[in-house]
Amino acid sequence: MLEPNVAQRAHDTPRNDVPTKRSGMSFPERHPYLFWQIIGWSLLLVDFIFVVIAVFNDFGEWCYPIIVFTFIGVLFAIIGSPFLIYFTRKSQVPDTRTSAEERVIRNDITTIVMLRNKAYGTLTGVAAVALVLVLAYVTYILGERGHILPGFISMVFMVVVPCIVCSQYLAFIRKRFMEVPDAARLVDVREDYYLSDLRRSRIPILPLPTPPSDAMLDFLYNWLHRYLMGDRLALITLTRSDLRRIGIVLVDGSIGDTEDDIDANAPLIAIPERQLDLSGANRAQFDKECRAIGAFVLPQREADAGVHAEGMA
């Protein structure tokens, strides 16, 4: 059994111990607008040089598609990326500790929603592709008839609008998924438990990129809300080193990774199933969602010394 005096809520960690989103961020993450502007103007320079070379060397008509598609990429980088960055930032998950945690939450929400409502994601994807094709056709017709400015505007819309539609759709499903606001206050996080209980009972374990923040607890509560029998959710925090005490070694399946390459203190969250209603069709749906986001169940036989866990954060 772990020491009971460390049984505290994970999201009550002092702020000076919490890594900020800007720590360890790459240049594109710190300056996304400048990054895409540099790419856009660099592509435009390359495209201009290619046009000049093509004109003086008479490369023929095969060079036109290269010029056009490169120019479309320039439009996205210079004109489209600010819109995409703006709408993406509006849909960011608040209260996350790192960008990795935010990315995991966003991806897991999208994955679960798609499993529960497959038709919406398919229809949105089809609508986005159809919109691109329609705008491409309009751009072509306007160019053929000599309407340069309307054709240019249509080309910009062809690049920008589908990205905005997809971004806003993902923001919509995330907002709809989080139907219980401030759900972290309804989550009880424990660190005192018997390791042997993880083998005797069926407890799904989910790898996390960082110790659970309020945002992660909000996500976990809203995910499990449809299965929860009561109002509160009880979770157990542990690490890889805790599992090694009972002979469990986690392998994420990455080529070349060994046990020594993985942080022994990498956080995990355990979900006791006794608080969930998994009768009937709920069991199959819950298991499917667990597999999709990388949660796994420990083997109950002592002979099984390793667990292969997909989707390690």
At 230-283, the pLDDT tens digits run: 899 999 888 888 887 777 766 654 333 444 445 667 889 999 888 999 998 999
* Confidence check: pLDDT of 97 > 50: yes
Residue 15 pLDDT? 34
* End position of a domain, from candidates 143, 177, 211: 177
Summarize pLDDT for 167-205 with one digit per residue, the tens. Answer: 778 778 888 888 888 888 999 988 766 666 676 777 889
Q: Are residues 55 and 143 in the same domain?
A: yes
Residue 115: pLDDT over 80: yes
Averaged pLDDT of the chain:
76
Please say which residue of 127, 143, 177 terminates a domain. 177
Considering the domain architecture, whether residues 33 and 70 belong to the same structural domain is answered as: yes
Choose the final residue of a domain: 120, 149, 177: 177
**Looking at the domain assignment, is residue 135 inside a domain?**
yes
Tokens found for residue 112: 């679960």
Domain identity same for 166 and 220: no
| pLDDT over 80 at 63, yes or no | no
57 in the same domain as 195: no
The first and second tokens of residue 170, run together, are: 């993902």
| 89 confidence band (pLDDT: 50, 70, 90) | low
CB neighbour list of residue 49: distance below 8 Å, 6 or more residues apart: none
- What is the structure's pLDDT at 139? 83
* Residue 254 pLDDT: 39
- Give residue 235's pLDDT: 92
Half-sphere exposure (Cβ direction) of 157: Cα atoms closer than 13 Å: 14
- Please indicate, yes or no, if residue 129 is contained in any of the structural domains: yes
Tell whether 169 and 302 lie within a shared domain: no
Residues of the chain with pLDDT > 90, as a percent, come to: 13
What lies within 8 Å, CB to CB, of 288 at 6+ separation is: 115
pLDDT band at 217 (very low <50, low <70, confident <90, very high): very high
Classify residue 313: in a domain, yes or no. no
Q: With a threshold of 0.75, does the pTM exceed it?
A: no
Identify the pLDDT of residue 57: 80
* CA quadruple 161, 164, 166, 168: dihedral sign: negative
Residue 194: per-residue pLDDT: 67
- Strands 204-207 and 296-297, by their bridges, are antiparallel
Residue 306 CA to residue 29 CA, distance in Å, equals 36
pLDDT in tens, 158-169: 877 777 777 778
Rounded percentage of the chain residues whose pLDDT exceeds 70? 74
Domain count for the chain? 2
Q: Is 286 in contact with 276 (CB distance < 8 Å)? A: yes
Q: Residue 125 sits in which domain range?
A: 20-177
| 242/108 same-domain check | no
24 and 142 both lie in a single domain: yes
In a domain, 28, yes or no: yes
Do residues 166 and 271 share a domain? Answer: no
Whether 172 and 24 map to the same domain: the answer is: yes
* Residue 202 lies inside a defined structural domain of this protein: yes
Higher-scoring residue by pLDDT: 107, 251: 107
Residues 6+ apart with CB under 8 A from 121: 113, 114
